[in-house]
Amino acid sequence: MRWNGGVLAGLLIGLVWVAAGAVLVVVGRRRRLRSTAEGAGSVGIIGVFLLVVGALTLFATFLLSVVPGND
């Protein structure tokens, strides 16, 4: 397993995307429950998208760290 600057940066970026997505999902759910306006919880959709992007980033970083290659 390799731990270089690229792998650590990928982990950090992936964790930030996942954290931001989770916050937006929670905020969107709370807005949707409180409001009667149409589209009040649409920020939750953006949160789901960020969760998926973060998960894919973490997966790609994991592959980068375990796949053998030239150092």
| pLDDT at 71 (0 to 100) | 59
Residue 34 falls inside a structural domain: yes
Domain count, the chain: 1
Residue 37 falls inside a structural domain: yes
Q: Where are the alpha helices (DSSP H) in the chain?
A: 5-34, 43-66
Residue 60 falls inside a structural domain: yes
Contact status, residue 28 vs residue 47, Cβ threshold 8 Å: yes
47 CB-near residues (< 8 Å, 6+ apart): 20, 21, 22, 23, 24, 25, 26, 27, 28
Q: Which residues of the chain fall below pLDDT 70?
A: 1, 68-71
| pLDDT at 6 (0 to 100) | 85
Closest to 48 in 3D by CA, of 10, 14, 22: 22
| pLDDT at 70 (0 to 100) | 66
Task: State pTM to two decimals.
Answer: 0.81
Residue 48 falls inside a structural domain: yes
Parent domain of 36: 19-65
